[in-house]
Structure 1
Amino acid sequence: MRKLALAFALTLAAGPALATGLEIEVAGEGANGTIVVDLLEDVAPAHTARIVELAQEGAYDGVVFHRVIDGFMAQTGDVEFGTFGEDMRRAGMGGSEKPDLAAEFSDEPFARGTLGMARAADPNSANSQFFIMFAPAPHLNGQYTVVGRVTDGMDVVDAIKRGEGRNGAVMGQPDRMVTVTVTE
């Protein structure tokens, strides 16, 4: 109950959520086009508020898809170390200057096209990074926070340059989010 009250308080402090989605313009060797996402403010209010805040600040613009595992997911959102054109060796190790978020687990399944928040081993460590599912992953259900669903542009998601090895680290020039725009 305390976590729910905290999430509600964080949402109120952030102000009313005017955004209902994102348009993510992607470019690179693999994907080129727009991904449209419906954010689930009612499911994860603090996490969606964070994504909206970072998108409105332009923090996601130019950030790469640093971890892409074929048949699983594409991860992005490291606004600290994941900017295109910088040293990519630390991409995926950072977040934003904002505090980490308390988990907002739900009954929403990790289906194809689900947008989830990335985190470290601590369930309350999500910050700025998120991932988009290529395929269902029921083992993530109730373990990670669901923040949205792709409503258009899954062909763009499917074309994102894949990484190598078990961890899916993208070598060479990774695809990137050119701009992330908040929509109403």
Structure 2
Amino acid sequence: MADPENTLVLETTKGKVVIELRPDLAPGHVERIKTLARKGFYDGIVFHRVIDGFMAQTGCPNGTGTGGSDLPDLKAEFNAEPHVRGICSMARTSAPNSANSQFFIVFDDARFLDKQYTVWGKVVEGMENVDLIKRGEPARDPDKIVSMKVLADAA
């Protein structure tokens, strides 16, 4: 049974996506994602960078990949979890400790990212909806996260 405190439910313009959080891999990043989700930070944010066969990125309040939350950047929590289909990992600049609010969901194996980006979760339901997200950098009329909630709060 899923742990409601470590399960995210995203309602996207393409349908529901459920993500299992991995505090065992990246406790600081999981805490940040939950904090922002609980503030409603991700509600209405677009998937601003979607590359076919690679990943769908979201979490920028500007919708361009240039912004983050008003919270400080996170210390890297790189781990050995492989970047394979359905993995959720934190976006960052070239500086390792620059992750803040942006994250991406991997469409296909992207093992070249292993141990260089912080994996914090995995899609456990609705990956077929992630597959439908409009491609582009940025996409015209991009898909978005309508709402993102921690399952424990959704009841």
Alignment of 1:1-184 (within 5 A): 19-27=5-13, 32-79=14-61, 81-82=62-63, 91-163=64-136, 169-184=137-152
Partners of 1:50 and 1:171 in 2: how far apart? 27
Rg larger in 1 or in 2? 1
Task: Report the Cα distance in structure 2 between the residues aligned to 1:141 and 1:72, rounded to whole angstroms.
Answer: 14
Residues 84-104 of structure 1 show CA distances to partners (whole Å, capped at 9, x for unaligned) of xxxxxxx11000110000100
Offset of residue 171 of structure 1: 3.3
Q: Distance in 1 between matches of 2:10 and 2:59?
A: 12
Cα distance in 2 for residues equivalent to 1:113 and 1:171: 21
Work out the CA distance in 2 between the residues paired with 1:128 and 1:68. 17
Which residue in the other structure is 1:11 paired with?
none
> 1:61-113: per-residue Cα shift (whole Å, max 9, x none)?
0000000000000000013x12xxxxxxxx11000110000100111000100
TM-score by length of 1: 0.79
Cα distance in 1, alignment partners of residues 38 and 69 from structure 2: 14
Unaligned ranges ≥5, structure 1 = 1-17, 83-90, 164-168
Which residue of structure 2 aligns with residue 85 of structure 1? none
Q: How far apart, in 2, do the equivalents of 1:71 and 1:122 lie?
A: 25
Q: Which amino acid aligns with 1:129?
A: Q
**What are the superposed Cα offsets for residues 1-37 of structure 1, whole Å, 9 maximum, x if unpaired?**
xxxxxxxxxxxxxxxxx7211011111xxxx210000
Moved over 2 A (4+): none
What TM-score do you get using the length of structure 2 for normalisation?
0.94
CA RMSD of aligned residues (A): 1.3
Paired residues of 1:115 and 1:149 also in contact (CA < 8 A) = yes
- Tell me the secondary structure at the aligned position of residue 162 of structure 1: coil
SS at match of 1:159: coil
